[in-house]
């Protein structure tokens, strides 16, 4: 290894350690921090972030990277590491620090204003700060890549390489298939009574059941924890400290359980990273879309399917008495229940979720291009809601104000949710193609052939490959909506006898 | 405020934030971190510590401090802040980074070797690394103040301004009074049966009882937490995030309870700091000895006394059935039980504890001066144990290997425990002199006149005053062993009818 590459590795390892520290401080803040410490925690976090930013923009780091980019002696992993670090450095360097500070401060204020505005169902109170956030996001995009559309630059933050030109046909195809499918589900005769979904289950019972399933999925508790939080997440500090959280709704046990499975999918990705490179960017999860593919693969492809529940349903029946006389087929109908009359994205089912995302995508790109004014957002939102789902939100709290993302200036994130669903179907179908025994193993409670495939094709790859190369190496094709559409059409046609 | 002082404050605030981050990472490591994350945590901690060290030794900081030391426009608080920061900078600057690294690495190795050596009751396995640690401590002392005895320099780390010349007469006086007092207690007729001290009490019951008492002492749970750990401590991140821990021995409820009260004493000091200066060195607790005075004031002066238990004993009797027929006087005999036949410092009572400390002090100063060779430690230890307490440890695990301190290279800390006991008696007697109603208020469960006095005379002072000035302002005299000796003689003469 050259002296320059060794120095680069040391500097990147320090940056990774500082990111991990931010991970612990953030987890602590959500889970255990006393309320009176909020102000001090803000100072601690910003101090570490400023240190990290100074190190990331240190001219010596840029010089090392420029030199190493020309170095033909680097192997593929080293080359990828240099590429990933260069992307970080470039974005950090070209955004002026005044703009970084303005973004941070406006995001904090935006969040506070949004909380109140949502409480009061009053979008107009949120509109002025949202307009500022849109403007700052445009400025930031222009600083990074003045010759590209702003929204493409923002998409790249979460899904490197993704553009509107690539998303448009994919989302068009989703609409083409899903809209008529949803209409058929809506017209179908409803299945059996699903009142058992709201049976009361104490939180502690749910925790025990959930922990057993999380463990059976391969989550390693010696390198993680399971805690309770208002908003479930997967956080922590690198692959040896992957902490998941959940919330227990005592009148909706299924949501808590699938939520835990979802976070476990994220956690398996993190725990599966290449430990020998854990302190280098090249071992990082590829993108937000690929991350979401791992949570959704386990939550939807696996834990909404029959094989998984063949293994776990009998024990669930033991734990939850009201399921004892309920056949597996009926339980699966409940798990896969579709409700198009739902305004809320986070509560949406597998079929309507992509339309919630497409609605936001279309609005975001128009906001960033200037075609849509912030003041006209509620009207644009409600009009699309009627167009896609045939429903009109009764107020802005369950409409345009429902999501936290924009209040923090995060534009371009929403598409990752649906990219995740598409990648999940691609990965799962490819894995089953290569290991046809996966469903029968899942039915025996064995995750191994599936988890091993994900370890090899996704987790261990990290960021060695860019997204298209990773997905192509794993599935034979880059991003492709057809596997998801085939899966959804077949499943819901069968379940709802369409 | 001058521009230079404002810049100094900003730099010191960043350093405080980094120290607080270390506090959270350390708490997390002890309390919630998954075991597999140990290696990553080591990297995270050392990265933050290196950043802090770089900032502390930044020549710009030293230049600011040098300029401000001449600045006659600073007020008393600002002058004290400059003085405290200068002490930190000087110690950090004059120790070469190679030596810092060697100290850190040897301390980690020393701890590992010590754990094994203690397990195997084999001092000779520990001797070589201990010799290295002594040598490194000497080198460090020489780097800081080449013209002072090494041990004085090390004492100053924990108790600024303390020297052997000041400690010697104090410790001589303690021996003069305590040795005959212990002999009389040993010869006295034993009190009633104390088997109830080992009654089984479930951990959860102990937690509830302890939490009630901790709360009644004025501990603010919105700025702190109470958790369980193997070794109880008070940690966290600044005055708004003060976290205490305890352990519950189900067959020794009293030790758990007084341990919680002890840590709460530390915590009240931290929570009582001047919040308007929380990010500056001048608000820091004065020294380890003063810190220990706050824990021991509550544990011994208050919670080993009758007034406190007049308020809390009835509720304790309700919670612990086996106390219902036990009169308060008998309970207090149990609380104040003296056992000179005890080898272990952390289990020692109020009377013998100072002799455990003096033994270590005498050994440490001889080690550092070179008069005592590491190989001769067990013999020196056991000889002094016989001289002071008349007992001989059966093996080194309960003798020279019992404490963790030396394994991490911490020489000079032990005296702080006894300085704390002496200051505690000085403070408590001064407080009662100024507020004679304190005992009767404690008997009503009211901590306020006492806590208010501590807030004013100790907690809010922080490091505005140096130790002697603080103690003199509060009690009319600097360090003085007589209040402790008067208190101990009177109490144990009465309890044991000597």
Q: What is the DSSP string of B430-489?
A: HHHHH-TTHHHHHHTT--HHHHHHHIIIIITTTTSS-HHHHHHHHHSSSS-SHHHHHHHH
Q: Helices A415-434 and A288-296, interaxial angle, to 10°?
A: 60
Task: Give the span between the Cα atoms of B229 and B70, in whole angstroms.
Answer: 47
Spot the catalytic one: A20, A132, A189, A263.
Answer: A263
Lowest mean pLDDT segment, chosen from A304-308, A339-343, B118-122, B370-374: A339-343
Token couple for B363:
């050994």
| Strand pairing class (A234-236; B224-228) | unpaired
Q: What pLDDT, in 10s, does the model give residues A13-67?
A: 999 999 999 999 999 999 999 999 999 999 999 999 999 999 999 999 999 999 9
pLDDT of A330 higher than 90: yes
pLDDT of B285 higher than 80: yes
Q: Which residues pair with A243 in a beta bridge?
A: A225, A235
What one-character DSSP code corresponds to residue B190?
Answer: P
Task: Give the span between the Cα atoms of B492 and B470, in whole angstroms.
Answer: 29
Q: How confident is the model at residue A165 (pLDDT cuts 50, 70, 90)?
A: very high
Task: Give the span between the Cα atoms of B254 and B194, in whole angstroms.
Answer: 12
Cross-chain Cβ contact A21/B18 below 8 Å: no
Q: How confident is the model at residue A97 (pLDDT cuts 50, 70, 90)?
A: confident
Rounded to two decimals, the ipTM of the complex is 0.93
| pTM, entire model | 0.94
* A·B CB contacts under 8 A: 106
Q: What residues contact B338, with CB distance under 8 A and at least 6 apart? A: B182, B185, B349, B350, B351, B352, B492, B496
Q: Burial, A307: exposed, middle or buried (Cβ in 10 Å; 0-12, 13-18, 19+)?
A: middle
pLDDT of B176 higher than 80: yes
Find where tokens 């291009």 sit: A369
Token couple for A14:
């320090």
What pLDDT shows up at residue A282? 98
pLDDT of A268 higher than 90: yes
Give the angle A84-A90-A96 at the CA atoms, nearest 5°: 145
What pLDDT shows up at residue A498? 85
Q: What is the 3-state secondary structure (H, E, C) of B359-393?
A: HHHHHHHHHHHCCCCHHHHHHHHHHHHHHHHCCCC
Residues of chain A that touch chain B, judged by Cβ-Cβ distance less than 8 Å = 13-14, 17-18, 20-21, 24-25, 28, 32-37, 39-41, 43-44, 47-48, 50-51, 220-225, 237-238, 240-241, 243, 278-279
Q: How confident is the model at residue A340 (pLDDT cuts 50, 70, 90)?
A: confident
pLDDT of B159 higher than 80: yes
pLDDT of B192 higher than 80: no
The CA–CA distances, whole Å, from B39 to A237, A238, A283, B66 equal 12, 11, 17, 40
Q: Which CATH entry fits the domain spanning A121-498: 1.10.10.10, 3.40.30.10, 1.10.1370.30, 1.20.58.100?
A: 1.10.1370.30
Task: List strands edge to edge, sheet with A234-236.
Answer: A224-228, A242-246, A234-236
Q: Quick one: average pLDDT of B459-476?
A: 98
Cross-chain Cβ contact B20/A224 below 8 Å: no
In A, minimum Cα distance to B21 occurs at A44
- What is the overall mean pLDDT for chain A? 96
Task: Give the span between the Cα atoms of B388 and B182, in whole angstroms.
Answer: 10
What pLDDT shows up at residue B265? 98
In A, minimum Cα distance to B14 occurs at A47
Contact B464, B453 (CB under 8 A): no
In A, minimum Cα distance to B224 occurs at A34
| Strand pairing class (B234-236; B242-246) | antiparallel
Cross-chain Cβ contact A13/B43 below 8 Å: yes
Query: Of B158, B140, B162, which Cα lies nearest the Cα of B150?
Result: B140
Whole-number percent of chain A with pLDDT over 90: 94
Radius of gyration of chain B (CA): 23
What pLDDT shows up at residue B351? 95
Cross-chain Cβ contact A21/B25 below 8 Å: yes
Contact A86, A69 (CB under 8 A): yes
Task: Give the span between the Cα atoms of B191 and B334, in whole angstroms.
Answer: 9
pLDDT of A101 higher than 90: no
- A284 in helix, strand or coil? coil
pLDDT of A123 higher than 80: yes
From A462's Cα to the closest Cα of chain B, the distance in A is 18
What pLDDT shows up at residue B193? 83
Cross-chain Cβ contact B36/A220 below 8 Å: yes
H/E stretch holding B227 reads strand B224-228
Cross-chain Cβ contact A28/B33 below 8 Å: no
Residues of chain B that touch chain A, judged by Cβ-Cβ distance less than 8 Å = 13-14, 17-18, 20-21, 24-25, 28, 32-37, 39-41, 43-44, 47-48, 50-51, 220-225, 237-238, 240-241, 243, 278-279
Q: Which of B21, B50, B237 sits opposite A21 (nearest CB)?
A: B21
Find where tokens 């060779």 sit: B373
Q: Identify all chain B residues contacting A223, using CB atoms and an 8 Å cutoff.
A: 34, 36-37
From B271's Cα to the closest Cα of chain A, the distance in A is 11
What pLDDT shows up at residue A186? 86
Q: How confident is the model at residue A335 (pLDDT cuts 50, 70, 90)?
A: very high
- Residues making up chain B, counted from first to last: 498
Contact A300, A463 (CB under 8 A): no
What pLDDT shows up at residue A362? 98
In B, minimum Cα distance to A31 occurs at B32
Q: What pLDDT, in 10s, does the model give residues B444-460?
A: 999 999 999 999 999 99
In A, minimum Cα distance to B40 occurs at A240
Cross-chain Cβ contact A44/B24 below 8 Å: yes
Whole-number percent of chain A with pLDDT over 70: 100
Q: How confident is the model at residue B153 (pLDDT cuts 50, 70, 90)?
A: very high
Q: Quick one: average pLDDT of A134-148?
A: 97
Q: Which residues pair with A235 in a beta bridge?
A: A243
What one-character DSSP code corresponds to residue B302?
Answer: I
Query: Of B8, B477, B475, B25, which Cα lies nearest the Cα of B241?
Result: B25
Q: How confident is the model at residue A224 (pLDDT cuts 50, 70, 90)?
A: very high
In B, minimum Cα distance to A10 occurs at B47
Q: Quick one: average pLDDT of A400-428?
A: 97
Cross-chain Cβ contact B44/A237 below 8 Å: yes
Token couple for B292:
């220990």
From A47's Cα to the closest Cα of chain B, the distance in A is 6
From A217's Cα to the closest Cα of chain B, the distance in A is 18
| Strand pairing class (A224-228; A242-246) | parallel
Task: Give the span between the Cα atoms of A431 and A172, in whole angstroms.
Answer: 27
Cross-chain Cβ contact A21/B48 below 8 Å: yes
Q: What pLDDT, in 10s, does the model give residues A440-479?
A: 999 999 999 999 999 999 999 999 999 999 999 999 999 9
Phi, psi torsion values for B75, nearest 5 degrees: -85, 180
Catalogue the active-site residues of B.
263
H/E stretch holding A435 reads none
The CA–CA distances, whole Å, from A169 to A150, A172, A174, A361, A414 equal 19, 5, 9, 13, 17
Q: Which of B13, B14, B241 sits opposite A33 (nearest CB)?
A: B241
End-to-end CA distance of chain A: 61
Q: What pLDDT, in 10s, does the model give residues B304-348?
A: 999 999 999 999 999 999 999 999 999 999 999 988 899 999 999
pLDDT of B191 higher than 80: no
From B246's Cα to the closest Cα of chain A, the distance in A is 17
pLDDT of B1 higher than 80: no
Cross-chain Cβ contact A240/B13 below 8 Å: no
Q: How confident is the model at residue B101 (pLDDT cuts 50, 70, 90)?
A: confident
Cross-chain Cβ contact B238/A39 below 8 Å: no
Token couple for A386:
């009627």
- Residues making up chain A, counted from first to last: 498
Query: For domain B122-216+247-498, is the CATH number 1.10.1370.30?
Result: yes
Q: Which of B33, B41, B237 sits opposite A40 (nearest CB)?
A: B237
């Amino acid at each position: 290894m050259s002296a320059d590459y060794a120095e680069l590795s040391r500097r990147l390892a320090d940056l990774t350690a500082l990111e991990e520290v931010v991970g612990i401080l953030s987890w602590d803040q959500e889970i255990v921090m006393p309320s009176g410490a909020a102000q001090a925690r803000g100072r601690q976090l910003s101090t570490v972030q400023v240190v990290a930013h100074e190190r990331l923009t240190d001219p010596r780091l840029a010089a090392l990277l420029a030199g190493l980019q020309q170095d033909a002696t680097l192997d593929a992993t080293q080359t990828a590491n240099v590429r990933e670090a260069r992307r970080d450095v470039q974005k950090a360097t070209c955004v002026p620090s005044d703009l970084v500070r303005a973004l941070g401060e406006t995001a904090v204020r935006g969040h506070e204003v949004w909380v109140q505005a949502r409480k009061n169902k009053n979008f107009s109170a949120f509109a002025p700060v949202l307009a500022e956030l849109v403007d700052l996001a445009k400025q930031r995009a222009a600083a990074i890549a003045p010759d590209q559309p702003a929204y493409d630059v923002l998409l790249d933050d979460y899904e490197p390489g993704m553009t509107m030109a690539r998303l448009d046909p994919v989302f068009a195809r989703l609409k083409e298939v899903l809209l008529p499918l949803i209409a058929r589900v809506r017209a179908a005769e409803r299945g059996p009574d699903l009142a058992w979904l709201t049976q009361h289950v104490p939180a502690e019972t749910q925790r025990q059941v959930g922990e057993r399933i999380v463990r059976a999925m391969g989550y390693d508790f010696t390198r993680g924890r399971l805690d309770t939080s208002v908003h479930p997440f997967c956080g922590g500090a690198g692959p040896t400290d992957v902490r998941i959280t959940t919330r227990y709704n005592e009148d909706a046990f299924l949501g808590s359980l699938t939520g835990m499975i979802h976070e476990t999918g994220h956690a398996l990705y993190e725990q599966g990273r290449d430990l020998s490179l854990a302190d280098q960017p090249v071992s990082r999860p590829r993108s937000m879309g690929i991350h979401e593919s791992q949570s959704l693969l386990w939550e939807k492809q696996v834990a909404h399917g029959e094989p998984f529940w063949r293994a776990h349903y009998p024990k669930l029946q033991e734990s939850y008495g009201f399921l004892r006389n309920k056949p597996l087929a009926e339980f699966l109908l409940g798990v896969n229940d579709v409700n198009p009359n739902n305004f809320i994205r986070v509560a949406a089912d597998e079929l309507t979720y992509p339309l919630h995302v497409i609605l936001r995508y279309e609005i975001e790109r128009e906001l960033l291009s200037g075609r849509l004014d912030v003041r006209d957002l509620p009207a644009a939102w409600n009009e699309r809601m009627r167009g896609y789902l045939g429903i009109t939100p009764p107020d802005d709290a369950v409409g345009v104000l429902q999501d936290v993302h924009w209040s923090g200036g995060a534009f371009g994130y929403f598409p990752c949710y649906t990219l995740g669903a598409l990648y999940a179907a691609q990965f799962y179908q490819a894995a089953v193609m290569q290991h046809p025994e996966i469903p029968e193993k899942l039915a025996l409670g064995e995750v191994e052939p599936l988890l091993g495939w994900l370890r090899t094709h996704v987790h261990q790859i990290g960021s060695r490959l860019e997204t298209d190369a990773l997905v192509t190496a794993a599935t034979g094709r880059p991003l492709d909506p057809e596997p998801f559409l085939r899966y959804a059409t077949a499943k819901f046609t069968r379940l709802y006898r369409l």
